[in-house]
Amino acid sequence: MNQKVHNQIVSFIWSIADDVLRDVFVRGKYRDIILPFTVLRRLDVLLVPTKAKVLEANAFLEAQGIDDKSALESQSGCSFWNNSKFTFDTLLNDADNIDSNLEAYLDGFSPNVREIISKFKLANQLQTLKEAGLTYLLIEKFCNKDINLGTNEAKNGKGETLPPLTNLGMGYVFEELIRKFNEENNEEAGEHFTPREIIKLMTHILFLPVKDKIKSGTYLVYDPACGSGGMLTEAEEFALDITGDKAKFELYGQEVNPETYAICTSDMLIKGKKTENISYGSTLSRDGFPHLHFDFMLSNPPYGKTWKIDEDAIVEERGKKGKERIKDNRFQVGLPSISDGQLLFLVNMVSKMKHNTELGSRVATVHNGSALFTGDAGGGESEIRKYLIENDWLECIIALPKNIFYTTGIPTYIWIVSNKQPTERKGKVQLINALDLYQKLRKNLGQKNCELTAAHIDELTQLYMDCKDEGISKVYPNEHFGYHKITVERPLRLSCCFTDDAIEGLRYDRGIRDEMEWAYSHFGDELYTDLKKHRDKIEKHLNANDLKLSPANRNKLLSQEHWLAQLAIKTAADKLEKVFGGQQFDDYNLFVPQLQKP
């Protein structure tokens, strides 16, 4: 696609937000209108050429009393349809009723598009548009003849020819809009948008080492936390490029956030992909593809996020010795801490590897340091790492520069996992330190203040493929990463010595020592004989100094019996001091016999 045309379309759609939505929506909410309406307009122009055929077929189905409208797909020529009488252009013919007609138009879409609309929560935004009287103006902007979102040539208002927009080109437009909205709203960017250069590095390392082994046929690519789908589309584009389009790559993903799921499925629909390959819901508690195994997997799963909400679907009696039962076979190897479920996504991908093909499966996934270091020997995290290394599946870990993601500056790492390693990698793990391999950004994007250049990506890819123990690349045998935790127990060692200061301290209860010291310094031995007459003064001192004691400790402080009990302990220690003097005993076995002498 012509880059100039691409930029013109993005700029025009971007301008709609300021032209129409300003003063009604805050800037952070522009995306809630612009993204779904961009999708709708694209689908609309694709359906216009076959609109009459769809309406005719729909009338026939209704006359026959057939509720299943799936046959309309063959009439529309797309994987979706709209059986309402409206299009974006004809909605403008009835300005007075445009809001109700728009609702009828949206209801006329096929189920796959209606699901996207519902996940965008567009109904909430339509009411705001209606109340502000902006619906007509918004649709009019999207129908402007100065941009062409169709797959055929079109004429602009000046009679000039506008080139068609392919599915791939529309995907680029949509992704660029997402990127621009992410930059506008940096606090959300990291939730579903991995920096593109990180994705490029992952795809390079995932596909380049095996490009000569990829034959004609269909390969499955999977992302269990697919967000807006950027990793999947980037993976397909790169794989097709380096293999000369000789193979087909089918994309699968799962996403738990409804709006992000809508963005992803919209992008897939725009590009002519199968939206049913994108599953909605939690990957951990509801596997969207329980019977599939994949050739290539890549992901940036959430880290530092609890999996408490998924716990009941995964395990019973978690953490209870002898009672814990893992219900989901994907996670039999072990469970990490409930506060951080990132390793569960990795184990999920490992459970979906192919073992009976020449290529096997290759995995690239991003984690923070927690996945590397937390968990004692025998703990869930440690058992997962042990499982990968003992099976010789962990190929490489790349330490990325700090502050390379949008919402966090903490260290992050790319893990490369494969179950069909070449001979030179067997029994080894490669570590690449790319902490200092970056280029500073001129302007920060949230926490992100640096990026990897194309040269950096090529350098890291080559370091991985060479697998040499030199420079920032280190190679260690698998055994290097094994360890045992040994608890060394020693007998309790105590020292004993009677000193005046230590004995004086026995006069006071440790829990209320400061308060007892104050009272004794003011009232002396009368606390042992007539404490009652000083009780009010003690309480007044507590209140004046805001000294808050528990009821139990307050009772002890004001109890003559407790004062006498502490005095008895001190008196006993005074007697022992006369026997032992200032001698210090470091051996309990020598002190006790002397203490017990009559």
pLDDT over threshold 50, residue 278? yes
- Among 40-44, 189-193, 253-257, 389-393, which is the least confidently predicted range? 189-193
As beta bridge partners, residue 417 has 363, 394
pLDDT over threshold 70, residue 193? no
Assign 186 a pLDDT band (cuts: 50, 70, 90): low
Three-state DSSP at 504 gives: helix
pLDDT over threshold 70, residue 187? no
CB atoms within 10 A of CB 123: 11
pLDDT over threshold 80, residue 416? yes
| C-alpha–C-alpha distance, residues 182 and 186, integer Å | 6
Average confidence (pLDDT) over 144-151: 86
| C-alpha–C-alpha distance, residues 369 and 594, integer Å | 55
Assign 250 a pLDDT band (cuts: 50, 70, 90): very high
pLDDT over threshold 50, residue 192? no
| C-alpha–C-alpha distance, residues 49 and 248, integer Å | 29
Output phi, psi for 362, to 5 deg. Answer: -125, 135
CB atoms within 10 A of CB 23: 7
CB atoms within 10 A of CB 499: 12
- Give me the amino acid identity at 453: T
Predicted local distance difference test score (pLDDT) of residue 188: 45
Q: Which top CATH class is 189-304+332-481?
A: alpha beta
Assign 305 a pLDDT band (cuts: 50, 70, 90): confident
Predicted local distance difference test score (pLDDT) of residue 548: 83
Assign 582 a pLDDT band (cuts: 50, 70, 90): confident
* Each residue's pLDDT tens digit, 480-536: 888 777 777 777 777 888 888 888 999 999 889 989 999 999 999 999 999 999 999
- Per-domain residue ranges of the chain: 3-173, 189-304+332-481, 500-595
**CB 354 within 8 Å of CB 421:** no
Average confidence (pLDDT) over 224-242: 91
Mean pLDDT of all residues belonging to the chain: 89
pLDDT over threshold 70, residue 165? yes
pLDDT over threshold 80, residue 25? yes
Average confidence (pLDDT) over 430-457: 89
Average confidence (pLDDT) over 331-339: 91
- Helix (H) or strand (E) holding 125, with range, is helix 122-132
Average confidence (pLDDT) over 375-384: 86
pLDDT over threshold 60, residue 265? yes
Predicted local distance difference test score (pLDDT) of residue 191: 47
Average confidence (pLDDT) over 331-356: 94
Assign 398 a pLDDT band (cuts: 50, 70, 90): very high
Average confidence (pLDDT) over 146-161: 84
Assign 190 a pLDDT band (cuts: 50, 70, 90): very low
- In the numeric block, which tokens belong to residue 383? 């058992």
| C-alpha–C-alpha distance, residues 137 and 15, integer Å | 13
If phi > 0 it is left, if psi is from -120 to 50 it is alpha, else beta; for residue 529 that is alpha
Kindly write down the DSSP assignment for every residue of 255-305, as one continuous string. Answer: E-SHHHHHHHHHHHHHTT--GGGEEES-TTTS-S-TT--BSEEEE----S-
Average confidence (pLDDT) over 415-441: 94
Query: pLDDT above 90 covers what percent of the chain?
Result: 55
Assign 185 a pLDDT band (cuts: 50, 70, 90): low
Predicted local distance difference test score (pLDDT) of residue 183: 67
Helix ranges, 352-493 (H): 370-373, 380-390, 454-466
Three-state DSSP at 449 gives: strand
pLDDT over threshold 90, residue 349? yes
pLDDT over threshold 90, residue 407? no
CB atoms within 10 A of CB 413: 19
Average confidence (pLDDT) over 298-307: 90
As beta bridge partners, residue 428 has 477
Torsion sign over Cα 228, 232, 238, 241: negative
Predicted local distance difference test score (pLDDT) of residue 176: 79
Predicted local distance difference test score (pLDDT) of residue 2: 64
pTM above 0.95, yes or no: no
**CB 334 within 8 Å of CB 383:** yes
Predicted local distance difference test score (pLDDT) of residue 194: 80
Average confidence (pLDDT) over 346-366: 96
More confident of the two residues 448 and 567: 567
CB atoms within 10 A of CB 551: 7
Predicted local distance difference test score (pLDDT) of residue 386: 93
How far does CA 361 lie from the centroid of its chain? 23
- Helix (H) or strand (E) holding 315, with range, is strand 315-316
Average confidence (pLDDT) over 295-321: 90
Predicted local distance difference test score (pLDDT) of residue 189: 41
- Judge residue 267's burial from the number of C-beta atoms within 10 Å of its C-beta, 0-12 exposed, 13-18 middle, 19 or more buried: buried
Predicted local distance difference test score (pLDDT) of residue 406: 74
Assign 362 a pLDDT band (cuts: 50, 70, 90): very high
Q: Could you tell me which of 305, 313, 352, 308 has the C-alpha nearest to residue 330?
A: 352
Average confidence (pLDDT) over 104-118: 93
Average confidence (pLDDT) over 78-103: 94
- Among 258-267, 274-283, 403-412, which is the least confidently predicted range? 403-412
Kindly write down the DSSP assignment for every residue of 358-369, as one continuous string. Answer: SS--EEEEEEET
